[in-house]
Amino acid sequence: MNGKDCLIIFPGPHAYVSASWYEEKNIVSIWNYTAIHDYGKVTTIENKDEMRQIGLKTSDYFEKRQSKPWKYEDHTEYGEKLLSGIV
């Protein structure tokens, strides 16, 4: 799988847009959305230390805004068990 071409899609915000919001008569309701399509090469990470560091950095980044941030260090035993299931 390493080195193969891949497409990854990042969906963004989306919402229903009612035709009743417009004054024009010949209009229909739509679904408005954004998405980014990105192409690249697959690289798998099998090194558990590297996976752990990615998990730590990711959770620290997103948890810092929480009133009681979740910390990997508080759940190390359980987190280590989950590393083998991460791809």
CB-neighbour burial class of residue 76 (10 A; exposed 0-12, middle 13-18, buried 19+)? exposed
Average pLDDT for 6-17: 96
pLDDT digits (tens, 9 = 90+) for 20-47: 999 988 999 999 999 999 999 999 888 8
pLDDT digits (tens, 9 = 90+) for 49-66: 998 899 899 999 999 999
Question: What sign does the CA torsion over 19, 21, 26, 31 have?
Answer: negative
* Confidence at residue 66, expressed as pLDDT on a 0 to 100 scale: 94
**pLDDT higher than 80, residue 87:** no
**pLDDT higher than 90, residue 12:** yes
* Confidence at residue 1, expressed as pLDDT on a 0 to 100 scale: 77
- The pTM (predicted TM-score) of the whole model is 0.59
